[in-house]
Structure 1
Amino acid sequence: MAENGKPKLALYWAASCGGCEISVLAIHEKILDVAEAFDIVFWPCVMDFKVSDVEALEDGEIDVCLFNGAIRTDENAHMAHLLRRKSKVMVAYGSCAMEGCMPGLANFYDRERIMQFVYHDSPSTDNPDGVEPQTRTEVPEGELTLPGFWNTVRTLDQIVPVEYFIPGCPPEAKWTEAAINAIISGELPPPGSVIGMDVTVCDECPRERSEKKITRFYRPYEIIPDPDICLLDQGLFCAGIATRAGCGALCPQVNMGCRGCYGPNEGVVDGGARLISAIASVIDAKTPEEIDAVLDTLPDPAGYFYRFTLARSLMERTRLERQNGHKVARPLEEVPRLDPALKE
């Protein structure tokens, strides 16, 4: 608690786009309630705080930390450990912190291939000297440093213990408001809970679904969909069939299939595998050749099925275990937490 009796609140971004910061402001005038109820001690995106301000706090002095963004660099991991130590309650806020989100798609490649493409092979790159960022660089004025770039994107709870999860890319304002109200009232759910709904986007979607079988997928520019009929029934890829509700089915209501940003429902171990299973159930094909023909109309299947969840998928979990000398993947809660110095 602060001297004024208010609980202390910290907000931080790691490997993220900034959308989660904006989503906090999307609660509109309720932000005034936040300012009245909390003493905001760290929010570098909005106010001029320094890391030294956090380091000066006593361990556990921050009551709640809303941490958004995946863990991609040494700095991300350092701040996750620092804020975890200083906070009583750690909240993984948004898809990047909770599932890895789109930054997690980089796990299909290693650090060297990413650097090669970004700084050498990209069509827009003009780098004749082949310069790549270094963690330490000597210049006439002294030494410049950059945080180390990890080989693998991690979720927040793969690095530090997390009490609560708020899904979404970014979370809808109503869930941010619900979380803040629960914190203010002291009526938080049990630790480990996801603050949100436990049905699928289909349950929120007003479109009529007949569970029609499809023989091909269409890109959004290829057809004009009926505004009242399920997009999946019309052959447009929609992840709502296997995605946690809570957004109000915003994308389907503007003729765009659900992207899956709220992640899988409770109890689902691998969101991408669950989505693959759900989509497979609507494909009208009997032979391997027919199945291949349908799937050939779906470009970038890895990007569709694991767009938001690759960093915590079974594939990635198996990869983590093999790095530790194990041959079989184990549940995430049994995987040893990574030392912040381990970047491979």
Structure 2
Amino acid sequence: MDVIDFLPLDPILSSVRAIYKQCQNVKRNEKQCKRIALIVQKLEEMLKSIKEKDSNQISENLNSALLEVKPVLDSAVELIKKCTDANVMTAMTKAQNYQEEFNKLNERFSDVILTVFNAMHEQLEKEKKKLARKESKMAKKKTKIAQKTANMAQMEAEMDQKKAEMAQKEAEMAPKEEEMAQMEAKMAQKEVKMSEKEDEFSQKEAKMSQKEAKMSEKEAEMSEKEAEMSQKEAKMSEKEDKMSEKEAEMSEKEAEMSQMEAELAQKEAKMSQKEAEMFKKEAKMSEKEAEISKKEAEMSEKEDKMSEKEAEISKKEAEMTEKEAEMSQMEAKLAQMEAEMAQMDRTLALQQERIHSLKAKTMFILLCCCAVTVTVYIKK
């Protein structure tokens, strides 16, 4: 719609009020003046309905039609003033001229009213088309909102499905966690047993150290005895004559010494056997320690996997919270759009009410125009 500077309606309405005032003081041509007042009244109703509109809603054709109204009203004011001020002689001499002027004025009013009516009708049609476009836009927006609600429902279904999957995964993780707890309990029991075995091993080592100390004492005694024997041999060399008599005793003593040496050899063999057994036990302990370290490595790997799974679960929970925030934002946008839709529906209802009132007024004006034209033609 082309928008121009809106013509002020106050001067036109002031001319209308002047016509009403002049018609009250008319002395001649009262019927013609009352007819003019009636036409002006209908025109005033049209002007008031136009005044209710905003200035940017007035079309160029309607504005140009309104420009033609003021001169016609000014002519009516002058003519009615003549009928008011004229004396009896002047009225009798110029009665025919006044009748012709009233006829011309009626024709001008008919043309002006028809022009204004056509302009208003044209503007009304444009407003109808504009309303139809707005209604189509509103229908498109409603379809978009319906699509968005469907998408929201689908997203909610996906969210429910993901929640069910998360619950299923948690249910699957529960027996694994129980197994892990059982394995940890078994490991704790094994560690207790290992500590007990280590205590036993330490006790055995203490006993072995005590036996080694005793063996060292015996070796010291043997060395002392050997020293004594060497002293005795020295004495025996000095007393070879005397030893000849005691050779039998010495041979017996040597036999006892050999027996004692054999016993010492047996004890040394037993000690070596015990040392071998100790080495075997140490090897078994190292193997067990290797197994324990291997199990600890497996446990650490499982703990790492559990931490990774917990990180994935926390990540998924963060994604779920983000999606819930997006859902809340979309719901807020939908509420805002619904509020805008309600506001637009109210504006449409107001515009439709105005259109109906304008239709009624235009039909009434058309009837009045037809009546005026019929009366004019009848008088002609």
Normalised by the size of structure 2, how large is the TM-score? 0.21
Identify, as 1 or 2, the structure richer in helix.
Answer: 2
Q: Which has the higher contact order (CA 8 A, sep 6+)?
A: 2
**TM-score by structure 1 length?**
0.23
